[in-house]
Each structure stands twice: as C-alpha cells, then as structure tokens.
Structure 1
Amino acid sequence: MHMLCSKTPTQSFSLSRFQETCLRVLSFCNSNSLKEGICIHSPIIKLGLQHDLYLNNNLLSLYAKCFGLHHARHLFDEMPDKDVVSWTTVLSSHTKNKYHFDALELFDMMLGSGQYPNEFTLSSALRSCSALGEFDCGTKIHASVVKLGLEMNPFLGTSLIEFYTKSCCSTFEVYKLLSLVKGGGDVVSWTTMVSSLVETGKYGEAFGVYVKMIEAGVYPNEFTFVKLLGAASSFLGLAYGKLLHAQLIIFGAEMNLVLKTAIVDMYSKFRQMEDAIKVANMTPEYDVCLWTTIISGFNQNLQVRETVGAFLDMELSGILPNNFTYASLLNASSSILSLGLGEQFHSRVIIIGLENDLYIGNALVDMYMKCSHSTTNAVKAFREIASPNVISWTSLIAGFVENGLEQSFQVFSEMQAAGVQPNFVTLSTILGACSKVRSLVPTMMLHGHIIKTKADIDIAVGNALVDAYAGGGMTDEAWSVIGTMNHRDSITYTCLAARLNQKGDHGMALKVFVHMCNDGIKMDEFSLASFLSAAAGLGTMETGKQLHCYSVKSGFHRCNSVSNSLVHLYSKCGSIHDANRAFKDISEPDAFSWNGLISGLASNGYISHALSTFDDMRLAGVKPDSVTLLSLISACSHGGLLDLGLEYFYSMQKVYHITPKLDHYVCLVDLLGRGGRLEEAMGVIETMPFKPDSLVCKTLLNACNLHGNVALGEDMARRCLELDPSDPAIYLLLANLYDNAGLSDFGEKTRRLMRERGLRRSPGQCWMEIRSRIHHFSAGEKIDEDEINEKLAFLITEFRNRGYQYQESEDKIYHSEQLAAAYGVLNVPTMAPIRIYKNSLICPHCHTFMMLATQVVGREIILRDRKRFHFFKDGQCSCRGHS
C-alpha cells in the first residue's frame, strides 16, 4: 500500500515542474485579464494541487477579474486554507463591485479567523466605509491601522484621507492626517483629498485645499487638475476654469490625453467651443474619449452641423466611435427634431452591433419619441435594450406624456412590475402626465406612493406634485403639499402661480407672491413673468409697475420672458405707450414679443398700428406664427377691415405655410359675420376641416343678431343647443335677436324657457384698482353706500335733462360696470382716467351709459371687457360701434 501511494522522484519532479508551469500561466493570464487561464483549474484538482495556497490565490484573482464576484466568492468559500492575500483579494473584489456591506462583513470574518489585515485589506475596507457613510466603522479601522503600526504607510494614508474627506463635515481631521504623512503629504495625498471633496460636491472646499496644497510647497500634477477642472465645469465657473488652465501651464503639468479631454470638456460646458478646439489641437494625440467630448460639446451648444462634422473628422482620423459617441449623435438629432438624421445614426449603430447597448438604447427611445409622429419605433428600440434602467423607462414615459397619451401610466406600472424603482425624474414626469390629463385619481395614488417611498424629500418631486394638483384645480391640496415640503424654491411657487393664471384666478396668483416673499425666496425671471401675467390679468397697473421696478433692479428685464410679460401687462392695462416702450427695450424681440405688441395694439383699438407692426415684424426677419395671424384677423374683424382680414386668412397656408386651426375659423366667421356676409360665414362652418363647436355657432348667432337675420339665427341657436344645451348665453343671444327684430313675445318665451330649465348666466363682475386696492362690483348688487346710489341717480337725471337718448330700466341700473363707473367718479383723482375691468362683454345698454357719462362728468373712462378695450371720451368710444 505504501508503495502504491508513494511518488517516485521522477514523478515529484514532474509535478513540481507542472506546478511551476501553472503558476506562470496563471500569472500571465492575471496580468492580461485572459479568461483562458481558467483551464488550469481542472488539472490542478485532478493532480491534487488544490491545497496549494499560492496557486489558489492566483486562481481566485483570475476568477475575480474575469468571471465575476459570484464565482470568486464560491472558490474562496471552497478553499481549505486562506491567508491575508486570499481575504484581501475577495474583499477588494467586493469593494470594487460596490458590494460594500458584504465587504465589511468579510472584513469582520477575517478578523474573527485570526488573520491580520495588511495595508491593502484595510484600504479596501476603508473605501467601503466611505461609500456607506459608516463613520464609526471607519474610525475603528483607523484604530486598527494605528495598532498595527501602519499609520505612516503612504498607501493607507491616502485611503484614510479619502475616508475622512468624504465622511467629515470638516477637513480638520484630514489636515491632521496630512501632518502625520512624511513631509506633510505628497501630491497623491493632496490630490486624493481634492478628488474626494469634488466627488462629494464640496467644490469650494476642494479649491481651498488646492490653494493650501500649493502653499505647502506640493506641486499639483495632471490628475489634480483633472479633478479641479471637473469642479469648475460643475460649479465653480468659467473664471476658475481659466485660472486652472493658466496654472497647469505654469506648473508644467503633462498635457496627456486625460488632462486635455478635461480642459476641452470644461470649455465646452461654458459654450467656449473655439477655445475647446484650440486646446484639442495643441497636441496631435486624439482618442475616442476626446472626440466624444468634442462631439458632445458641439451638441450641448446646439451646433448640430459642427457635431456631425466632428463625427466625420473622427472617422477620417481612423478612430472608431463608441456607444457614448453615438448616444451624443442621437441626442443631437433629437435637439433639432431630425428623424432622418437620427435614422442614419441608428443604421450605423445596427451595422456595428451596438443596438442592444443601454446608453444607445436610451438615446434611441428619446430620439424616436421626440422626432417621430408615431411611438412605434421608440417602443421597439426600448424592447431591444437588454436590461432597461430607470433612465430607459423614464425616457419612454416622458415620450408618451409629450405625445399626450395615457399609456404613460401603463408603462409606469410595467416599470414597477419589472422591479425598477422610479427616481425623482420619473415621478416628476408621470406627475406631469397627471397634470396634462387633469385626472386627480392617479395624482392622489402617486402622492401615496411618494409618501410611502419618502420620495417627497426631493424638491423636484414636491414641485411636480404641486403642479399636478394645481393643474387639476385642487388648489387647496397644492397649498397643503407646499406646507409639507422640507424645502421650497422659486419653481414651487411659479408652478402654482402659473396654474392659477391659467384658471383665471389672477388675484390668488398675486397672493402666491406674498407667500413666496414670506418664505424668503427671491423671484427669478420665470416667477416674475408669472406675477406680471397675473397683474396683467387683473389690470392692476400699480402692482405691475412695482414688479417692473423689481425687474429693472434685478436685471431680469433683459430676459425675453419678462420683457414680453411687461408688453402684455401694459397692453392689458390700456397703456399702449408703456407697452411700446417695454417692447423697444427688448434687444432681440422674438415671435412672442411681436405677437404681444400686435395683440395689444389691436385690443386697444389701434388697428392700423397693429397692421403696420406686423409689417415691421416681417422686415425684422421674424417669422409669423399661427398666433400672429389670429391677432391680425381678429384686428381686421374689430376694425371692419373685411377684405384685408380675408387676405390674411387665405395667406396663412399659401404664404406662411401655417395650417389654420379652429380658432382661426371662428375668427373668420366673426369677420364675415360682422361684414354682413352671413351666408359665406355659414359656408365656412359647413366646409371647415373641423367639427363645428358651440363657440363658432355662437359667433354666427351673434352676427345674425347684429344684422337681424332671424331665420339663420334660429338655425344657429338650434345647433348651439345641440352641442351645449346648458349654456345660458345661447338663450340670451336668441332672446336679444327676437327683441331686436320686434318679436319681444318670442324673446320673453326664450328667457322663460331658460329659467324653467334652471339656467342662469354667471353674474357679470367688474373690478378696479384705486391706491393699490382692488374693488369688486357684481351685476345686480344692491349697493348700501348712499353716495354711489346718489351718483347713479344724478347721472341718469342729467341724461334726461340734457335730452340724451337713454332708456332707463330698473334692472340695468345695477350692472356691474355702472356701479364701478359711479364709484370711480367719486374716488379716482380728477385728472386720472377711470379704469374698469370686466369679466364678460359690455352690453349695448351699458356701452351707451358710459359714452353719455363721459359727457356729463368730463372724464375719460377706460373699460376692458373680455375681448377688447373701450376708450370712452367726450361721448365717443374707440370701438366706433365695432364691438
């Protein structure tokens, strides 16, 4: 038996030679990360060499490098013997793969086994503590470093510096560590500290450490500058970036590809592409990272032609693009909504076999959602991604939201079922869908999910929730969310103010401004534009002027959004002179600017000026849009310019390539109707490419009233009632048609029918601003103030005494605009015009009252109704009967 088990000297020598060969193969494969080395494992087991610790450690390293953590851990657990190298290899692998909890668990097991860690073991454990924010655990490991006498080890010193920099609020401990390192720390130690501060977002502190580094006589290297340039790009600004560029030249940092790419990226982020290209061309070396940075830089600066040009130059240079390159190119296609360009890049991606790549897949989903009229290709691109991440799902959801499709909710459910947790961008996006569909049930369900997952701590999610509730008309719930938010910013209040403006609740929108100020949050250009819009909606000139002053002091008046809002404000307040001045202050007026001025001039009765402004707009090279043409046709309608209005309408497609929308057809019917061409207007309704709604039929009904066409008016009223039977305005228009045609019995029957059906017209309301206070007046309201009643009685008596044609009627004495006019005569300073704002159209009776009142009191009255301004002066009105 002994003879069978024993090995001959020749066998022992051969086994030793084989063992040495295995070690060489494993060592070579380890250094080159070659999977083929794993073939050695099987003969090692067959020949009984599995107890060789040196061989096993080499195998363990190869498994960790080439076959993943799971296989490496399995081998480690099977190893009969383990030393510090074994433990360090597997622990380090866990740390590199971000399994930090498991890494620290292994570290405890190692200590429990009686093995002493070395500097590499301790370094890996410290990195895991740093990643998890385990400060106490890290300090215990530091204590072990001291006990083992390794505190002067430069490798461990660097790891400790990184740990304390990321874990401490103060850099005091780090400076203490640096003082312990020989010579006060080397460039590696200081750079580690800078790097850790940059990674944790402490950019100011990182730059402060850089200054102290230089003061300590330690010169930064290229890696120090790479980290600091990243900080400059993210936070510090272009001035710091230029300073760093100058200093790296002074300190003679080696201009390698990594540093050159960092400088190019910094200049690109600040839209300095000329400087970026100069730096890129300083040395002849280029790689895929540098080219991708240049391509991405052009893309970020919306220079798509240059983006494609850089890609072609890259190909000519012989460097192959990678997944990040193609993702940038697809994003460039999305930015200009070019489906053709995107499809070309997609075909290249397929040719090189990268269509399953995560980054490219995300870019493809985004491109097809933005550029294509169909969502089919986007969904197909999404399905081809091997493992969609949260960005993939969010891109798909965002695309459905932008296309107005409720499938976004279904995709959101699929995402959760797939086990992918939504992030704050996903939640903000799906809340945007709730806001669009104005559905409160999904909003409340999402709110519950947000509270459960504690996602409401993110300010972006809170803001989206405020917007969703406010967009759905649940203002109280929006305020409640604001009250529970840990942090609020200008976006929080801007969302609410904008939604209130959309609802027409301009008074509440202005109150948001007060809450914002009480919260200590300063306005930005967007919130300022929203508050200016609210002031315009109310016609509160004094509030608007105060906001205008703030815009000048803060410098926001240079922003187009604010300047456009100022034009809108003064136009809505009837001060077209100030509107013109605000427009002239805009350095580069866009289509919104011109539209605001044209619309303002038209609504203030300056029809010819509005039309000439349109000519100026074209001469300035600004392309008119659908809103421009709508304002022009409306101006012609109110100004009685029938032929010119028709010319503008028919030029939309022929000249400007703008397809008329339903609003344009409503305006066209109004234009023809006011001009007495009722049959043509009827023809427009019957032939337009849209199904007629109640508004277009009411427009023609109103024209029939103006021209006394009872038969057509009755037909329009019938159509209106079929479309909207609960609208009291239809009954009143028909009743007025009968009254004006001398058929008062039919008029009375129509009103009685309206009352029997329980329909009541919303009471007309007026308001006016006097000494920064808003005063409201409602139709039919009985005023207790004797002064107002006396003033109204005085005015009507004067009409009679002067022989004016005015038919007194008891129920019309208390129309809201008459009450406001009397109050204005009593309270507005004598030299100032009386400004009245009304939420509905002024009736003919009140229109006559205003004209006569200006003759009696010798005052100008400016009234803005739902459609336009009426400037009453010396018994005349600016509308000249074209109301």
Structure 2
Amino acid sequence: MQIASWTSLDYAHAFAVSLKVCANHKDARRGLDIHGEIFRLGLMETNSYVGSALVDMYTRCGLLAQAKQVFEDLTVHDTLSWNALMKSYIHFGHAEGVLKSFERMQLTGFLPDANSFLYNIKACSMIRSAQRGRNKHAQIGSDKLLETSIYVRGALIDMYAKLGALPNAQKVFDSLPVQNLVTWNSLISGYAEHGYSEKALGCLKEMQAKGMIPNSITMVYILKACSHMNDFSECLKLHAEIARKGFLEDSVHVATSLLDMYVKQGFLVKAQEIFDNVTVRNILSWTILIAGYADRGYGEKALYCFGRMQQEGFTPDTTVLACSLKGCGCLKAVDKGIEIHVEVERRSLLGQDSALANALLDMYVKCGLLAHAQEVLYELPHRDAASWTALIAGYAENGDSKEAFECFRLMQVDGINPNAVTLLCVLKACGNYGDLIRGLELHSEVERKGLKGDLTVANTLVDMYIKCGYPSKARDVFDSLPTCDVVSWNALISGYAELGHSEEVLACFEKMQAQDFAPDAVTYVGILKACASMGADISGRELHGEIARKGLTTCVLLGSALVDMYAKCGQLPKAEEVFETLSVQDVVSWNSLIAGYAQLGDSRRVFIVFDKMLLENVKPDMVTFLVVLTACNCRGLVKESGTYFAAMSKVFGIVPVLEHHSCMINLLGRNGNLNRVAAVIKEMPFCSNLVMWVTILNACKFLGNFSMAREAFQNALSLDDSHGAAYVLMSQVLANEN
C-alpha cells in the first residue's frame, strides 16, 4: 500500500501502534511529536481510537495533566476513550477521579463495559469503601456482566478480599464457572491478610484437591496465613512442601515470606537457618531478622546482624536503624546507640521518619540518658504522642515524677492529645509522687476519653490511688470494673499490704479465690507481707505449702517474701532454711534475714550474716546498712557504727540518707559524743529534720550540754514552732542546768 493512498483509518492505526511503542519506552518527546502530527491531520476529531492511544501514552509516561487534556480535547467520546481516562486515574492512584469519570460517562449516555466496571471496582478497593463496592456489584449484576466477564468477577473477589468482606468474596468466588489461579490467590490473600489462617490453608488444600497447582504468589499468601498460627508442625510441613517444589531457589519473595513466618512465630533459630541458606539476601530479609531479634529482647544478636549487613554492602534504611536502636536499648549499649544516632544525623533521617525518631528516644530512655532523649525530642520538626509518651514513660520509670509532669504539660502546649499509654505513664508518676490532686484530674480525663472500661487503665488507677494513700477510692475504681483480672486483684492486694491493711489483704484474697481467680507470684507476695505484718506464721506456713504445691518456690521474688515473712514472725531457723534453698540469694533476701535477727535483738547474728553476705560477693544496699547501724545502736557500738557508716560511701559507693545520719546521731548522742554529733550534722549533704533535732535535744537532757541543747531547740522550732516534745525536753534541760 502506498502512503499516498492511505485512508484516515490507516493513519489512525499506524499512529496508535507508534504511540504504544512510545508508551512502552516512556518516550514522551517522540510521543509529543506524533501528537502534533495527529493534530495536523485532524485525526482526533474523527477517531476516538487515536485519542485513547494518546491518553494511554501520556499516562504511562507519567503525564496525567496532558492525558486529561487530550481527553477533554476529543470531539468524539465513546466507551473506549472514557475507559482510557479511568485507566489513567487508576495508574496515578486517583480513585475519586475514576468514580467521577464513571458518573460523567453514564450521564452523557455511554454504556459501561467490562473494563469500565473493572476500573471502578479497583477504585472502590483503593478508597477502602466496601459499600460503594457493593453498589458497583449490584450495578454489574443488573447489566449481566458477571455472566460474561471472568475478569470482573476476579476483580470483585479481590476487592472484597482486600476490604475484609470475606463472605462476599467467597460468594462471588463460588459463583464462578471456572476458578483459576488468580481468583484462588485473591481469596487466599483475603483470608491471610485478615487473620483467617485456617480458612486460607483450607483454600490451599481445596485448590490442590481440584488439580490446581499453587504458584509462588499462592505460597507467599499461605506463609502469611501461617505466621498468625502457633503451630510449629504446620510450619514445618509447609516449609517441606515449598522446598520440595523448588520455590526457595526460584523466588526470593517466598524465601523472605518463610523467614518472616518463622520470625513472627518466635522460631528464631529456624529463621536464622533459613536466612543463612538463602542464595539471595535483600534489605527486607535483613530487616525481618534484625526486627525479630530486637522485638524479642535479643539485642546482641540484632546488633551482630546489623554489623554483618553493613559488611555485606547493604545500606540500612530507617526501619533497620530503628530496630538496631531497639537492640541498643535492650543491651543498654549506649556507645553503639550514639554511633547509630550520628549516622542518622549524617543522613538527615531524623525528621523524615517518626518511628526512627521514637526508637532513638526510647534507646536513650532505656539507657537512662533522659537529658539526651529530651534533646532529641526538642530537635524533632514534628513531635507526636508516641515521642512525648516515650520521654514521659522514661521519667516515670526513673522515679522523676516532676519531669514527667512537666513533659506532660509541654506535650499539651504542643497541641498533642495524650493517648491511653500517655495517661498510664502520668498516672504512674502521680502514684510515685503521691500527687492525689493531679491523679484526680487525670481520672476525669480518662473518663472524658471513654477509657473508663479499659482494664489496664483501671488497674493503673487502682495502683495510683493506693500509692497516694487513698485506698477507699482505689476500691471504688476496682468495684466499678465490669470485669477484672488477676492484675486488678494484685494492684489492690499489694496496695493494702504496702499500707499495712493486713485484714483487707486477706479479705481480698478470700474473695479473689471465691471468684475463681488463680493467684500468681505477685498475689502471694502481697499475702505473705500481710502475714508478716500480723505475725501470722501459721497462715504463712499454709501459704508456703500452697506455693510449693504450685511449683513457685523457684521464684526469687516469692523466695525473698517467704524469708521476710518467717523472719518478721520470729521464725529465724525456718527463715534460714528457706533462704538456703533459694536459687538466687539477692540483696533483698539477705536483708530480710539480717532484719529478722535485728528485730529479735540478736546483734551478733546480724553481723555474722552481714559478713557472710560480703563473702558471697553480694553488694549491700542502703537498707542493709540501716539495719546494721540500728543493730550497732541497740548495743551501743560506737566504734563499729563509725566503721560501717564510713564504709557505706568509701567502699560501696552508697550515699547515706537522712535515716542513716539519724541512727548515727542517736547512738553518738546517747553515748555522750556530742562533738561528733555536731560533726555529723555539719557533713550532712541535706537539711536535717525535726526528729533529728529532737533526738539531739533528748541526748543533751542526759548529758547536760546546754549550748548544744539551745541550738537543737532553735532548729526544731524553725521547722515546727508548735512541737510540744521540743518544749518539754528544753524545759528539762533548763531544770537540770539550774
């Protein structure tokens, strides 16, 4: 055929083929030249086929505005050109543009075909609107397209599956005259994505029974389904089938999904084995493994993998960096954490990813570097509830309630609404600080946010009121719970035990058991504390038997509580017997034993046990020294008390607190060493209290030291000018002076 004799139809066909080539190569410049030639020949005025090809070319070259303009310039519209426009919107993710174009198309009198509905179904899936999808489904049914187009039915299954409307997806699937691999995969993916693991596996067995051979995409979805199951044998069977069919060698996606399945189920040894054997590793497989170790507290392994990944030439992305920072937090590896922080700063990543920023904050918090965490927070261009909460939680955990409150205030000034976790952290700070007023305000905030029924929040409220010394309010919160758990009971029981309300502890324990709640180690610690306070060694022995029957005697916390209970009940041989059986003899259990002998006035045994503790390389704490100094006080051992007092800071690095100084002053005062009393007072790193000055005043009464008595009296009055005991003691000093 000579070009001179070509018809407009011939030109249209040739240009359409050329435009398709430009689209495949994303050659917009050549496509623009062809567009000019088409315009010169006037083909767009007579042929919608050419117009549709132009729309498609501009779309695939990434030029949506030009594609839309071509469509609007067409003098002839038909279903084909409308479909080209809708396809263009789908390509760019503009779902609303598809739906509006469909409505315009119908209003101008054009009938949709299978492709028109296909694009609309995809658009409904993109905007996650099951209702609009159902409306399209009903319209398709009325046009009888479902009977003729397998692609439309497949798209419907895919849409319903992605939106979680799985009964609808199953219904459309069951209506198919022919079920191909694509439709099976769509249904399986829906069940896998929405946690219906058994259904997904059932689909696999059914499709195989019907002679359908799964492909790598099928296996990726099935592995995702298995990651939600706690069935190691099923995982191994699936793994064996995948290996037998050669998917591990042929598909990196299958290998990565298998790795992910083992990680999510916590089978990290198996996951490492898969990882070591895959021929091709990518950033995703490294991320999955590092995240698995970090999430389960294996910080050392996470950081080892992080190092190996970099050695193999992979540049860590923000997710890998966040997981590695989590590993640093687990290990308190602050040097490595700072190294990663420098890398993050060098690549200017901090302001780009909130998860990375929060991981960095959390790392500094876990390492106890709260000032560093606060600096990171203030440098962020965008702070969210998670970043503020990480810092608030850090201060609350470290007992710095004032800073936690200040961060909470600044968070609200920043315009960030606290979430449930934030409120939990601030409530904990209120309990630690004993701030009842703020706690009541937060309780109101909890109710305003509709969190009253949240069990974790309610349990924290109970704990907060108990720690603020308001047990009746704690009981009101507890009694208002529609349901409670063992944590709720423990919060109440432990709180009553701390406050010394032993009878309430035992009443709660009886009620808890009557309601069929099984006590755990924390429950028993609270009950044993109550028995110790009451001197109820018989009840304590019964509890000991129950604890032994339940196999809980290996719990260090319970073991120490048993030692403490027997010691406080005066049953020191039994306390020592339990102590000797402990798998871990920590400072708490040693203190319980030492305090038991001190309570009985057996100072000799106090010192023997203390020396034995040091021989076992257990470092004493402030409580240990308070008990030992009290024992010295009881026996009037001035020289020994001085030795122990000096050893606290010089040998063990423990700064003496007010109670230690009071003990020394009392002992020195009663033994006439008022000059040393004055020296102790002068060396104190904090302000003295009323009890201390009254103690000195009492010593002066017996020793006749009028000048020191006057100083002690004046200091006591400066703290409380209505303190009766100070006036009585000073009058006795004056009487003795006269």
Whether TM exceeds 0.5 here: the answer is: yes
Gapped regions of structure 2 (runs ≥ 5): 1-5
Contact 1:443 1:468 in 2 (8 A): yes
Q: Separation in 1 of the partners of 2:579 and 2:694?
A: 35
Q: Separation in 1 of the partners of 2:439 and 2:352?
A: 34
Q: What's the CA shift for 1:73?
A: 13
1:692 paired residue number: 688
The AA in structure 2 aligned to 1:525 is A
The AA in structure 2 aligned to 1:124 is K
3-state SS of 2:383 partner: coil
Write out per-residue CA displacement over residues 714-744 of structure 1, whole angstroms, 9 at most, x where no aligned residue. 643543343245666x45xx757987x8969
Q: Separation in 2 of the partners of 1:226 and 1:442?
A: 51
Q: Separation in 2 of the partners of 1:37 and 1:451?
A: 65
Q: What's the CA shift for 1:128?
A: 6.4
The reply on whether 1:236 has 2:236 as its aligned counterpart is: no
Cα gap change, 1:233/1:439 in structure 2, threshold over 3 Å: closer, same or farther?
Answer: farther
Q: Separation in 2 of the partners of 1:221 and 1:536?
A: 67
Write out per-residue CA displacement over residues 19-63 of structure 1, whole angstroms, 9 at most, x where no aligned residue. 876655555459xxx9x9999999899999799344445656776
Cα gap change, 1:470/1:215 in structure 2, threshold over 3 Å: closer, same or farther?
Answer: farther
1:597 paired residue number: 593
Q: Separation in 2 of the partners of 1:77 and 1:707?
A: 108
The AA in structure 2 aligned to 1:451 is E
Write out per-residue CA displacement over residues 357-381 of structure 1, whole angstroms, 9 at most, x where no aligned residue. 3222112222334446563x43442
1:866 paired residue number: none
1:669 paired residue number: 665
Write out per-residue CA displacement over residues 279-319 of structure 1, whole angstroms, 9 at most, x where no aligned residue. 32122422223333343344445554444333222221111
3-state SS of 1:455 partner: coil
Query: Equivalent of 1:563, from 531, 538, 559?
Result: 559
- How do residues 14-413 of structure 1 correspond to structure 2 at under 5 angstroms? 24-29=21-26, 52-56=51-55, 59=58, 83-84=82-83, 86-87=85-86, 90=89, 115=112, 118=115, 120-121=118-119, 123-124=121-122, 127=125, 143=138, 148-150=144-146, 153=150, 156=153, 160=157, 163=160, 180=175, 196-197=190-191, 199-200=193-194, 236=230, 245=239, 248-249=242-243, 253-254=247-248, 256-261=251-256, 264=259, 274-300=269-295, 302-358=297-353, 359-371=355-367, 375=371, 377-402=372-397, 404=400, 406=402, 408-409=404-405, 411-412=407-408
2:452 paired residue number: 456
Write out per-residue CA displacement over residues 152-184 of structure 1, whole angstroms, 9 at most, x where no aligned residue. 94884586488479757xx8877766655678x
Contact 1:92 1:124 in 2 (8 A): no
Q: What's the CA shift for 1:398?
A: 2.7
Q: Separation in 1 of the partners of 2:736 and 2:425?
A: 57
Q: What's the CA shift for 1:343?
A: 1.9
The reply on whether 1:508 has 2:508 as its aligned counterpart is: no
Q: What's the CA shift for 1:712?
A: 4.6
Cα gap change, 1:407/1:227 in structure 2, threshold over 3 Å: closer, same or farther?
Answer: farther
Contact 1:204 1:236 in 2 (8 A): no
2:486 paired residue number: 490
Q: Separation in 2 of the partners of 1:427 and 1:40?
A: 63
Query: Equivalent of 2:471, from 460, 470, 475?
Result: 475
Q: What's the CA shift for 1:439?
A: 3.2
Q: What's the CA shift for 1:521?
A: 4.0
3-state SS of 1:396 partner: helix
Cα gap change, 1:10/1:591 in structure 2, threshold over 3 Å: closer, same or farther?
Answer: farther
Contact 2:290 2:306 in 1 (8 A): yes
3-state SS of 2:532 partner: helix
Q: What's the CA shift for 1:433?
A: 3.3
Cα gap change, 1:381/1:736 in structure 2, threshold over 3 Å: closer, same or farther?
Answer: closer
Q: What's the CA shift for 1:680?
A: 1.8
The reply on whether 1:660 has 2:642 as its aligned counterpart is: no
Contact 1:633 1:671 in 2 (8 A): no
TM-score (norm 2): 0.77
Which piece of structure 1 moves more, 205-214 or 675-684?
205-214
Cα gap change, 1:125/1:568 in structure 2, threshold over 3 Å: closer, same or farther?
Answer: farther
Query: Equivalent of 2:719, from 719, 723, 742?
Result: 723
Cα gap change, 1:511/1:27 in structure 2, threshold over 3 Å: closer, same or farther?
Answer: farther
Contact 1:504 1:537 in 2 (8 A): yes
Cα gap change, 1:249/1:559 in structure 2, threshold over 3 Å: closer, same or farther?
Answer: farther
2:425 paired residue number: 429
Q: Separation in 2 of the partners of 1:697 and 1:213?
A: 87
Contact 2:370 2:395 in 1 (8 A): no
Contact 1:162 1:193 in 2 (8 A): no
Give the helix-richer structure, 1 or 2. 2
3-state SS of 2:248 partner: coil
Q: Separation in 2 of the partners of 1:11 and 1:223?
A: 45
Q: What's the CA shift for 1:341?
A: 3.0
Contact 2:587 2:620 in 1 (8 A): yes
Q: What's the CA shift for 1:556?
A: 3.7
Contact 2:377 2:387 in 1 (8 A): yes
Q: Separation in 2 of the partners of 1:219 and 1:42?
A: 46
Q: How many residues align?
A: 715
3-state SS of 2:277 partner: coil
Q: Separation in 1 of the partners of 2:106 and 2:601?
A: 88
Cα gap change, 1:24/1:270 in structure 2, threshold over 3 Å: closer, same or farther?
Answer: closer
Cα gap change, 1:140/1:492 in structure 2, threshold over 3 Å: closer, same or farther?
Answer: farther
The AA in structure 2 aligned to 1:669 is I
Contact 2:528 2:562 in 1 (8 A): yes
Q: Separation in 2 of the partners of 1:727 and 1:295?
A: 64
Contact 1:298 1:307 in 2 (8 A): yes
Q: Separation in 1 of the partners of 2:687 and 2:405?
A: 30
Q: What's the CA shift for 1:470?
A: 3.5
Cα gap change, 1:529/1:44 in structure 2, threshold over 3 Å: closer, same or farther?
Answer: farther
1:821 paired residue number: none
Aligned CA RMSD, in angstroms, stands at: 5.1
Q: Separation in 2 of the partners of 1:54 and 1:305?
A: 57
Q: What's the CA shift for 1:228?
A: 6.7
- How do residues 528-547 of structure 1 correspond to structure 2 at under 5 angstroms? 528-547=524-543
Cα gap change, 1:514/1:705 in structure 2, threshold over 3 Å: closer, same or farther?
Answer: farther
3-state SS of 2:474 partner: helix
Q: Separation in 1 of the partners of 2:216 and 2:296?
A: 27
Q: What's the CA shift for 1:607?
A: 3.8
Cα gap change, 1:737/1:686 in structure 2, threshold over 3 Å: closer, same or farther?
Answer: same
Write out per-residue CA displacement over residues 770-801 of structure 1, whole angstroms, 9 at most, x where no aligned residue. xxxxxxxxxxxxxxxxxxxxxxxxxxxxxxxx
Gapped regions of structure 1 (runs ≥ 5): 1-8, 747-883
3-state SS of 1:558 partner: coil
The AA in structure 1 aligned to 2:528 is L
Write out per-residue CA displacement over residues 314-366 of structure 1, whole angstroms, 9 at most, x where no aligned residue. 22111111112221222233334444332221112222332323222112222
Q: Separation in 1 of the partners of 2:710 and 2:158?
A: 87
Q: Separation in 2 of the partners of 1:472 and 1:72?
A: 68
3-state SS of 1:236 partner: coil
Cα gap change, 1:477/1:110 in structure 2, threshold over 3 Å: closer, same or farther?
Answer: farther
The AA in structure 2 aligned to 1:317 is E
Cα gap change, 1:319/1:582 in structure 2, threshold over 3 Å: closer, same or farther?
Answer: same
Write out per-residue CA displacement over residues 786-831 of structure 1, whole angstroms, 9 at most, x where no aligned residue. xxxxxxxxxxxxxxxxxxxxxxxxxxxxxxxxxxxxxxxxxxxxxx
